Amino acid sequence: MIRISVLASSSRGNATVISGGGTHVLVDTGISALRIRKGLAECGLSVPALSGIFFTHEHQDHVCGLGVLSKKDTLNLYCSRYMAQDVRGMAPGALFTYLEPGQTLEVGSLKITPFCVSHDALDPLGYLFECEGTRLGYVTDTGIIVKPMPELLAGVQGLYLESNYDPDMLANSGRTPALISRISGRWGHLSNEQACEFVRQIAHPGLQHLILAHISPECNTPAKASRAMQATLSELGLSTQLHCAAMANRLPWIEIQ
């Protein structure tokens, strides 16, 4: 079994706890250290209980709590080598492990395979988490679905998936044309429809839980993202439980068998 609790997620901040077989890891530290500690406590955990912190990439909405978090505890950080160069100064006492896409590593009871995503960051990563036959895909901050995501994540029982923007809301958001192009481009973010298209690619009856994440507060709504995905799940005949991660409230533990 793998358990996941999203402490927060939106374009403004992201942090997620993933547990399996007694091993606990955090993915990203893009909210305040105070909120991370509080969220971990609500999960019955603490920073020293974490075997590691895995990073998707160095953007502020994924790392901003790192500096304060690293002052009190010695952290085991896992990220791409390129990203480590950028954030090392934020956490001088931390221990870094560099990740290579496609190379699986074991941390306690969890098997973790990083993979490339398409985003304007320093070698950004998505993850496949595995524990005793249960598999959870973690896909965020990617402008397009790239190889090997469909192959690697086929058959997952759980999926954490960015559903960042609604194209009409983005077009009418008052953002500059350059920013709109960046968000909707191949190095940006997934729209609701792109998220649905990816789920169509990897859909199977064993997909138990789907968590929509990184929902933009200005260019999307949880209702729009959920409606689009629920329609896709219904069209596919799946009874997958759909969840929406939020910025303000922790998403309580979800158990994936």
Residues forming contacts to Zn ion in the complex (CB under 5 A) are 59, 61, 141
Q: In whole angstroms, how far apart are CA 41 and each of 17, 99, 209, 243, 252?
A: 11, 28, 24, 22, 12
Based on CB atoms, which residue is closest to Zn ion, 3 or 59?
A: 59
Q: How far is the CB of 64 from Zn ion (least distance, A)?
A: 11
Which residue of this chain has its Cβ atom nearest to Zn ion in the complex?
59
Based on CB atoms, which residue is closest to Zn ion, 11 or 134?
A: 11
β-strand pairing of 134-139 with 125-131: antiparallel
Residues 77, 29: Cα–Cα separation, whole Å: 11
Burial (Cβ within 10 Å: 0-12, 13-18, ≥19) of residue 76: middle
Amino acid at site 83:
M
Tokens of 77: 């950080």
Residues 184, 241: Cα–Cα separation, whole Å: 27
User: Terminus-to-terminus CA distance in the chain, angstroms?
Assistant: 5
Q: How far is the CB of 191 from Zn ion (least distance, A)?
A: 15
DSSP-assigned letter for residue 191: B
Amino acid at site 173:
S
Q: How far is the CB of 84 from Zn ion (least distance, A)?
A: 17
β-strand pairing of 76-79 with 52-54: parallel
Tokens of 7: 């402490």
Q: How far is the CB of 1 from Zn ion (least distance, A)?
A: 28
Based on CB atoms, which residue is closest to Zn ion, 117 or 210?
A: 117
Tokens of 101: 């896409």
Based on CB atoms, which residue is closest to Zn ion, 61 or 123?
A: 61
Q: How far is the CB of 118 from Zn ion (least distance, A)?
A: 11
Q: Which residue shows structure tokens 């009874």?
A: 239
Based on CB atoms, which residue is closest to Zn ion, 163 or 208?
A: 163
| CB contact at 8 A, 220 and 192 | yes
Based on CB atoms, which residue is closest to Zn ion, 115 or 134?
A: 115
* Residue 102 backbone zone (phi > 0: left; psi -120 to 50: alpha; other: beta): left
Based on CB atoms, which residue is closest to Zn ion, 109 or 173?
A: 173
Q: How far is the CB of 257 from Zn ion (least distance, A)?
A: 29
